[in-house]
Structure 1
């Protein structure tokens, strides 16, 4: 997956936005003000921080060399994924899971506004 494809995929979710609260190079993808992905899209290698359920996060780290504890994040809830180190389909699934976890933590009224199936 290229940086442009990663950006497009993240922005494809309902109410997703890209912001730059840390540095002009660091893209932060949010839904309703809550972060679900963070990446320096011009970095080599391309990496993305994604939210993950704690038990799954540990298992993924054990099974995939390209998945490590979240860099500068709460290591219990975030993983850093090296793009290209896992299949694109798996990366898409992890991004979607991150988005879904954040949406699940939103107040019910906000979740309903998203009109997500």
Structure 2
């Protein structure tokens, strides 16, 4: 999977913005101002960080030990780094992106969730 496919998938989600807060090499995707994905633009192959339920994160790392690693420069309990070198099926990448987005949405305040629901 390349950055454009991943980027378009993220941006198609409700209320998602993209930013470069850590410099030109790290593309960050946020929902309602909170990060759910980060793509390292200079890494070959592409590396992305996604938020993950801690128990699920451990299972994924065991199942895909060469392509899903503890989150690089992130809280390793709550973030995974995915190496997009072709070994992970796109469905897994999209499912984990959805999981990350949903975790962040679940952590929003009630007011923020209401605002999100009211967006078109």
TM range, normalised to the smaller chain?
Answer: over 0.9
Partner of 1:115: 117
For 1:71 and 1:52, locate their aligned partners in 2 and report how far apart those are by CA, in whole Å: 13
5+ residue gaps, structure 2, are none
RMSD: 1.2
For 1:25 and 1:73, locate their aligned partners in 2 and report how far apart those are by CA, in whole Å: 16
Instruction: Decide whether the 8 Å contact of 2:32 with 2:116 is kept in 1.
Output: no
Determine if the alignment matches structure 1 residue 105 to structure 2 residue 107: yes
Runs (4 or more) in structure 1 with deviation over 6 Å come to none
5+ residue gaps, structure 1, are none
Partner of 1:26: 26
Matched residue count = 116
CA positional deviation for 1:85: 2.6
